[in-house]
Amino acid sequence: MTFIPELPDPALESRLLEGLNPQQREAVVYRGEALLIVAGAGSGKTSVLTRRIAHLIETRDAWPSQILAITFTNKAAAEMRERVETLIGQAAEGMWISTFHSACVRILRREAETFGYTKSFTIYDSADSRALIKRIIKDLDADTFGFTVSKVAGRISKAKNELQDVESYSRDANFADPAEAVFVEMFRRYSSELTRANAFDFDDLIAQTVYLFRAFPKVAALYQRRFRHVLVDEYQDTNHAQYSLIRELTRLPKPEHLKGAVGFDGMPLKEYDTPLGPASLTVVGDSDQSIYAFRGADIRNIVEFERDFPNSKVILLEQNYRSTQNILSAANSVIANNFDRKDKKLFTTIGDGEKIVGFTGYSQHDEAQFIADEVAELRESGIDYREMAVFYRTNAQTRALEDVFIRSALPYRVIGGTKFYERAEIKDAMAYLIAVANPADPLALRRIMNVPKRGIGPATEAALQNHADKDGRSLREALREAGRLGLGPKVTAAIEGLATILDEVGTTVDTAAPADILAALLERTGFLEVLRASRDPQDEARAENVEELLAVTREFRRNNPTGTLLDFLTEVSLVAAADELDDSSGTVSLMTLHTAKGLEFEAVFLTGVEEGLLPHQMSAGEPGGPAEERRLFYVGITRARRRLYLSLAMTRAQFGDVTVAMPSRYLQEIPTELIDWRQSPGMANSRGGTEPRALNARRGGFGAERSIAGHSLGGPGGYAIESGGPGATARARAAARAAERPKTEWTSRVTSTVRDNGDLTLAVGDRIRHVDFGEGKVTAVTGVGPKSVAEVQFDTAGRKRLLIKISPIEKLA
DNA sequence: TTGAGTAGCATTTTT
DNA sequence: TGCTACTCAA
């Protein structure tokens, strides 16, 4: 039979390739079993990926429903979908574009009944997992073996990422070691508690999907038949479980496993539906941007791709369309220090651009003040706030930055960090929803049992739990039978009241809108009422947060008119930090370097470039730690389009007391001529004297990676050796120098003083005195009431923005 | 059982 | 510094 394909529209096809360089072009049009696109930072990979998908559809090589594209965040997924739709219009419907986790939830919900779960399973986020682990540690007195919640959570997570379950883990376990025996027991309990609660944790979502596919080839075959083109972004950050999932999906299904099967449209499959070859796989990644090894990401997945897929093709994208040459040169020279990598050099035709700006503050407040001043200046030069970002290594660093940003009245937003959904009151409200959606979940129930206060304390809870355990029933069922426990009449009534509310509201879960369910729960339990009546001033804010949650549920329904409570809970569980980014908001974004991956900004401030912070102390003991930290630094640098700032502080307050910080070794890996030091470490160090070359003069003093490499001798299970290398002596010397100095030298130039000025009003031309900046003249006043902002030209400290209400200032006569 | 008060401890990065 | 976990009185 002759098959005459419908010819693709040549105009459209050329539009898909328009503006692409030859390598990008090939990445779009290549057809074959396996394709690896090695995409350097800013090399236009998203564009290539979206056009490749559009091209597959446009050339009739694939139906939209045959495409599965995996991204790192939901935001990236949404963006990709949008871009594909813009390229080819409506036809994009039916594609699966999502994160690993969302895709797996979708599969698991559909297939839950096949392997002993119900489709109303809940997803435990890390806080939930930790709460459970904490209880298990307590039960088993495992802390006597030195187990902490994070250690146990880490080990369990690692095992799951390696696709180990309790059985396979204990097969290799050394039971002669009592600590290991205890760990296995904890692992066992953790797993069985999850199963009993009809819940999956993050790692389960992937691992259980792989188990499902392996144990039920007929189920797997359905998906193998459906997805003919699998595309994976950020491949360098995939772990073993995710890798296995991809392998399962791209296997050729056996015809007998498809026999009699029913397709996704509910129609029986036909003979010719059996595919002739495995699905084609496209992965995109850059091993220089692998920063998730701590989470089990295995860089070998990308490095050994060609060996894994013998018929594969590799395409390199090295031209950068994002950054200036100065920024790229800095990035190239830093990453070149990682041995064991394929040499790759980013280049651009944009031109050199501005130099990188360096600044050394006396304290983290000083550093933050510099950033705030620069942000204000950049804004004046026409760069929008939303085009600026501040990066840091640890979340704790936000404090000083937020402090100064607030006082300077600069609009900012912290991405990630203490998230909305991690607030206690939100977790409580969510626990109500979970308890209603998944009655088998005792964790949620326990959380809300006494919120708001009902007089159900630990003793009562234990009694209920006992009753439940006695005849193998759930905690929820025990609640209904509280009358038989011989508790006080008050408590009994409270318990029964709660049970009634949950049961009655529970009848509506499949039909009612999430907002209505939440409203009913809040109303009937008096949750909001109690918060509002409280004397604690913070409770007012908590009540507002809960109302915000209510608004979120309404918003959800607006976007998903048929979305059930379960859909809402799923969506909430899987939001990533980067998903919070709102492109339309005119605020500066503050985020960790990890969150920054995949994003780009016109101006980037990379803060805390200090030894011990970047690279982080904790990384020194881990194999490959310093190299991964360097990649993190590299990722940060390459986010910037035009302006890059590197800053550090001489001293940093850590839990109350102040420690002396040394410039990061990575700073020396950047050619000096690329950095314009507004205040170099040397200048900051030597009583204001000008010594811009001081950083280089100390070469070797604190930059020696040799000291770190030596640590690998410790071997597995070894403890991190107290550093005795050159780095340590330099640190000690610096500390000694600091101690000799009069204290005032080291106190920060910018304090965190806040004052309530009531309704002090300032006018242009007023002279003021500021605690930190000295005297100055008001040059502008904007805003009204408590939000009014003064712009002040200080005599020596330069120009600053000040939120009048809280600044430590006084008006001079 | 609750709430106030205090002692002790902790910070790496996250789907 | 800021939070949690524990103790003790009501």
A621, pLDDT greater than 90: no
CB A231 within 8 A of CB A282: yes
Per-residue confidence at A26, pLDDT binned at 50, 70, 90? very high
The rounded distance, in Å, linking the Cα atoms of A1 and A738 is 86
A774-782 and A767-770 beta bridge pairing: antiparallel
Residue lying closest to nucleotide C2, CA to C1':
A655
Which nucleotide's C1' is closest to A462 (Cα)? B1
Q: Tell which strand C nucleotides have any atom below 7 Å from a protein Cβ.
A: 1-2, 5
Q: Is A44 annotated as a binding residue?
A: yes
pLDDT for res A28: 93
Over residues A132-152, the mean pLDDT reads 83
Per-residue confidence at A417, pLDDT binned at 50, 70, 90? low
Helix axes A240-249, A100-111, angle to 10 degrees: 60
> A272: Cβ under 7 Å from strand C?
no
- Rounded CA–C1' distance between A160 and B11, in angstroms: 25
Q: Which residues in chain A, range 118-157, keep a C-beta under 7 Å from any nucleic strand C atom?
A: 134
For chain A, what percent of residues have pLDDT higher than 70? 87
pLDDT for res A91: 65
10 Å Cβ neighbour count for A75?
Answer: 21
Q: Kindly give, in sequence order, each residue whose CB lies less than 8 Å from that of residue A289, ignoring residues fewer than 6 positions away.
A: A41, A234, A236, A597, A631, A634, A635
Residue lying closest to nucleotide B9, CA to C1':
A655
Over residues A365-383, the mean pLDDT reads 91
Which nucleotide's C1' is closest to A656 (Cα)? C1
> A295: Cβ under 7 Å from strand B?
yes
Q: Tell which strand B nucleotides have any atom below 7 Å from a protein Cβ.
A: 1-3, 10-15
A728, pLDDT greater than 80: no
Global confidence as pTM:
0.83
> A458: Cβ under 7 Å from strand B?
yes
CB A604 within 8 A of CB A640: yes
Q: Kindly give, in sequence order, each residue whose CB lies less than 8 Å from that of residue A345, ignoring residues fewer than 6 positions away.
A: A318, A332
Nearest to A339 by CA among A715, A621, A705, A632: A705
Q: Is A624 annotated as a binding residue?
A: no
- Rounded CA–C1' distance between A520 and B5, in angstroms: 37
- Catalytic positions of A are 45-46, 233-234, 289, 639
Three-state secondary structure call for residue A640: strand
> A656: Cβ under 7 Å from strand C?
yes
Residue lying closest to nucleotide C3, CA to C1':
A655
Which nucleotide's C1' is closest to A615 (Cα)? B12
Over residues A137-152, the mean pLDDT reads 82
Which nucleotide's C1' is closest to A654 (Cα)? C1
- Rounded CA–C1' distance between A563 and C5, in angstroms: 40
Nearest to A521 by CA among A480, A556, A550, A542: A550
> A393: Cβ under 7 Å from strand B?
yes
Minimum mean pLDDT range among A247-256, A549-558, A712-721, A737-746? A712-721
> A396: Cβ under 7 Å from strand B?
yes
The rounded distance, in Å, linking the Cα atoms of A286 and A783 is 46
pLDDT for res A9: 61
The rounded distance, in Å, linking the Cα atoms of A401 and A608 is 11
Torsion of CA A672, A678, A684, A688, to 10 degrees: 120
E strand map for A596-696: 601-606, 640-649, 651-654, 657-660, 675-679
Q: Where on the phi/psi map is residue A180: left (φ > 0), alpha (ψ -120 to 50), or beta?
A: alpha
For the sheet with A767-770, list strands across it: A798-803, A789-794, A774-782, A767-770, A809-812
Three-state secondary structure call for residue A187: helix
* pLDDT tens digits, A492-546: 888 999 999 999 999 999 999 999 999 999 999 988 888 888 777 677 778 888 8
